[in-house]
Structure formats: structure tokens, C-alpha cells
Amino acid sequence: MIVVLKPNTNGEEITRIEYMLKQNGVDTHVVEQDNGTIIGCTGDLSKIDSKSFEMNPVVDYVASVPEPYKLANRAFHPEDSIIDVSGVKVGGNHLAMIAGPCSIESYEQVMEIAKNVKAAGANMLRGGAFKPRTSPYSFQGLGLDGLEILCAVREETGLPIVTELMSTEHLDIFNEKVDLIQIGARNMQNFELLKQLGDVDRPILLKRGLNATYEEWIMSAEYIMAAGNKNVILCERGIRTFETYTRNTLDLQSIPVIKKNTHLPVIIDPSHAGGKWWLVEPMAKAAVVAGADGLIIEVHNNPECALCDGPQSLKPKKYDQLLNQIKQLAPIVGRTI
Ligand code: PEP
Ligand code: MN
């Protein structure tokens, strides 16, 4: 349920309405926006008589929010959320351009890629230290040593770092060192992990599960938000379909659907979607034109020898060419990098 207050309602009146709602046992979430204040309500609403609230002179109207997700719901927060990742804004008219290798392999490898993608226009660096691999015999990532490499490259380049957290065991160190904490597709419904992210100060990049519906994906964001962390960015990375030619099927429709139903930024990962490097450019361009708030793209200096996901990785030169095109497309859809 939302209680929409009349424009220019002052702070004292807002507090009074909030108090009355709380007296009835609901949790309140005050969102102040340019065109007025909304008090979002969650929890047990059974004692609320919306008609009597509507009689209050500062209340414009009361509306129910039928969707199971509340804090992520556009009704709770009509304006787009803009998430700050260590100074880089994501959402609104800002585009997040995240690039880097699938896995951190060495300092030299990450450093070379980081310099290249930064020169091309990337504003964040990705790289996996802990890798969720299908086979236990595949490269599992360098772990905390990899994280140290990523931090050292941030020091050199100034690029905020994005890396995947797989276990609550590393929550504190990620909270200390990682600018944007990625939750991978395979952990999208790891509810214990999601709940713990509520205590983290860092923004979260929540990837869509391989077979998650929109509602399930948004509910996972809701878990993080309900636990206390409102800074969630969603990432579509392809879903499982009957098609086997591509690794997954990129669901571009998710962009307008997420934007219609939530206020959270949504970025696209064309690398894991198609699984082929030559699909990255057309899908990345389509995503920006369709309204994505950014792109996360795998770039490798030597994809043939990459320890993970070489076939879907762009070489730095191709990434540079792609960003040149994105820079031309962005203003057409009201965006800047
Ligand atoms: C990744 O970004 O490295 C990754 C493993 O992605 P996903 O969780 O989308 O498969
Ligand atoms: Mn990968």
C-alpha cells in the first residue's frame, strides 16, 4: 500500500502520518521525490482503514500495491533510482560501462585489459576472483589473491571494481574492498546470502537466474532491499530456452518490463547471453537503444588462452570499436557515458 501525500506537505505532517501508520503495525518507507512524498507501507496492513487515511487533509490518496514486491515497485518510488557506485552513477541518464575479463588470471593480464577498456570509455572494471563453474575440475578463480589483484588495478586506474560474491564467508572483505558486489545467476535465489546483503554498505549487482521469471528476479531484489540495502542494480544475462545454438537467449524485453514495474536500474550482459564474441556488438547496441542503464562485457587480451569464457570475450580493439558506436547511440536515447 502507498499513501501519497499532497504536494508541499511539511516534515512534521509527514512524521505524524507515519506515526499513525506505525501505530497500526505497518512498516513505513518514506520516499521524497520532486513531485511530492509517498509513504510506502509493508507488513501487516490488515488494521489499516484506507478510507479514514484519505480523509486526512494532507493525504492525496491511498492505493494498494498488488504485486508481491513492494520496495522495488515503481509505485513506491515513481522516479528512476540512480545508484552511486563509488562516484559512478548508474541509472537516470547515466550509462554504466563495465568491462574486464571473466576471471582474474594475473596482475599483468588485468592491468593490460583495464588500461585498454578505460581508454575505450569503460567506467568500471569487472573480473571474477571466485568463479561459479559447472565442473569442479575447471579453473575456480584465484580467490582472495584475485581480489587483491583487482584492488591493485583499481589503485592504478581509478576504475571502481565489480566482482562476484559466492559465499557469506567473504561478506566482510567484499564490503570493505569491492565497489559493486555481483551476485551471480546461480545464486540469485540463495536467500540466506541475499538477506545478509542487507547489512552491506556497497551496492549490489543482481544477475537474473538462468530460469527465473521477472517476478522471481524482482523478489530477489526485494529480499536485499527488505533487509536494508536499497542500492540494487539488476542484470539480464540471458535465460535458458530450447535454443542450443547460443549459450542462453538474451531477453531484451526484460528492459522495458523491469523499467515499467520497478525503479531499479537494469543493465545487460551480452557476453554470457550469447556465449559468442560476435553476438556481443549487435546485442549491446540493441540493449542501449531499448533503454538499458548499462552493459557488462567480457574483454580479454588473449581470448584463445583465457582460463574462462574466451569464446565470448571481445579483444580490446573490438571493445573500443563497440564503445565508439555506443557513444553515438547514447545521445539518441538521452544517455551519456
Ligand atoms: C560472470 O559474470 O562472470 C558470471 C559467472 O555470470 P553469470 O552469473 O551471469 O553466469
Ligand atoms: Mn564469464
DSSP string, 82-101: -EEETTEEEBTTB-EEEEE-
Residues 6+ apart with CB under 8 A from 194: 183, 220, 223, 224, 227
3-state SS assignment for residue 211: coil
What is the average per-residue pLDDT within 66-83?
Answer: 97
What is the average per-residue pLDDT within 197-210?
Answer: 98
What is the average per-residue pLDDT within 259-277?
Answer: 98
**pTM of the entire predicted model:** 0.97
Statement: residue 158 has pLDDT above 90: yes
Statement: residue 169 has pLDDT above 90: yes
Q: Residue 182 C-alpha to ligand 1 middle, in angstroms?
A: 9
Cβ 185 under 6 angstroms from ligand 1: yes
Statement: residue 180 has pLDDT above 90: yes
Cβ 259 under 6 angstroms from ligand 1: no
What is the average per-residue pLDDT within 139-162?
Answer: 98
Neighbours of ion ligand 2 (CB under 5 A): 102, 309
pLDDT value at residue 34: 85
pLDDT digits (tens, 9 = 90+) for 218-261: 999 999 999 999 999 999 999 999 999 999 999 999 999 999 99
